[in-house]
Every structure is written in C-alpha cells, then in structure tokens.
Chain A
Amino acid sequence: MTREKIDARGAYCPGPLMELIAKLKLVQVGDEIEVLSTDKGSANDIPEWVKKVNHEMVGVTQQDGVWSIVVRKAK
C-alpha cells in the first residue's frame, strides 16, 4: 500500500476533486491518496463523491486552514 499526495492548496472547486479522480486512475486498489486543500467545499464534496462511487474515506483533518483528505482506492 502506498500513499500519494496531491497538493491542491489554492485550487478552487471542483479542482481538488478532479485531481483526486485523475490520480485514482493511476494508483492500485488499496493505495491511499492524501489531498491537501484550502477549499472548504472540497472537504465536504470529496467524501460525498467517495461515498457515491464506493471508494473508502480514511479521514479528514484540518490544520491552519488546510484540509487533509485521505482516500483509499477500493475498486
């Protein structure tokens, strides 16, 4: 299992989501992707999308205005 990181700080919706989806196509099932985002909407939208398409949420944390959203590829 590997963890990739996407630095989407400064990007506006739906940029962080699109970057995550593009990266998911490149990693293996079981790999994790951490998205760093300053966009509050993405902190809600990404988990919503993950739930809809049946990947897994590992967690969401926030520090100093930056959200860390970690997703695991499930399929």
Chain B
Amino acid sequence: MASNTLYILLCSGEHEKVQMAAMIASVAAVSERPVEVFVSMNALLAFAKDAPADTRYHGAGFSKLLKEKKAPDPIMLFRQGRELGDLKLWACSMALDVKGWELDHLDEDLFEGALGLTKFLSDAEGGQFITL
C-alpha cells in the first residue's frame, strides 16, 4: 500500500549531507508529511551528546559557508521537526554496537530509539526513500 511517509537513510557524516537531511526532514514534517530518519555510519557521530559545537560537523567548502553564515543548525532543525510535525529519528543499532555506544551517548530527546535496518526497510515499503 502506498504511503505518504518519507524515509531518510542518513549515513554520511558530511556536514552538507547532515544539513540537507535535517532541512528535508524538518520541512516535510511541518508540511504535514510523516518522516522517519535512520541515522547510521559516520552520520551517527554528528549526534554525539558531548561533541563540541565547533567540531561536530565536518565538511568541505559549503560546510565552511554554513558555519560562517550561521545557517540553522541541523540538530536544531531535527528538534523543530519533531516538535512541530511528525518526525522520528532512529539510531542504527549496528552502528551503535560497532562504536560501543548506548543510546544515551547521543543527543538527548532526539531519537525514538535504536532500530535495526531490517525493521526500517520493512516500514519503508511503499513510502518514499532517500539516502544521504
């Protein structure tokens, strides 16, 4: 059955891609479209609870511009999407295991929980799927 839900697989830790994921997710969520984001691989590192603000994001030329121009912070955008719309973030259980992290190593009050890829892919059937 077709679904309006947008599923985002975020596995790149590049600032530009984390930013884009946050923008897509938050705007879709506030536009009354359900969104689910699966955060894995290097992307998980951007959500580490104690990551210093100035080194949390790594990228290329556009990352520098985003920081200089004080573009909306990706973590803040994800939070706004959760507060103002239907947005859920899931932490990849495999990536957590490989890092030796528990969920509480990540920014608070952002993730619904840890999830396996199989469940995410199953939920995403019939929805629109984006990979960043």
Contact = CB atoms under 8 A, between A and B. Distances in A.
A69 B120 CA distance: 39
8 contacts: A12-B72, A14-B23, A14-B27, A17-B30, A18-B30, A18-B80, A22-B80, A52-B31
Contacts of B40: none
Contact of B71 (A12, A18, A53): A12
Nearest to A10: B70
Chain A interface size, under 10 / 10 to 19 / 20 to 34 / 35 or more? 10 to 19
Chain B interface, >50% SS class:
helix
Contact of B31 (A12, A22, A53): A53
A25 B84 contact: yes
A31 B71 CA distance: 29
Chain A interface, >50% SS class:
helix
Given A14-B23, A14-B77, A53-B31, A22 B84 contact: yes
A29 B80 CA distance: 22
Interface of B: 23, 26-27, 30-32, 69-72, 77, 80, 83-84
A58 interface: no
A12 B69 contact: yes
Nearest to B76: A18
B84 to A, nearest CB: 5
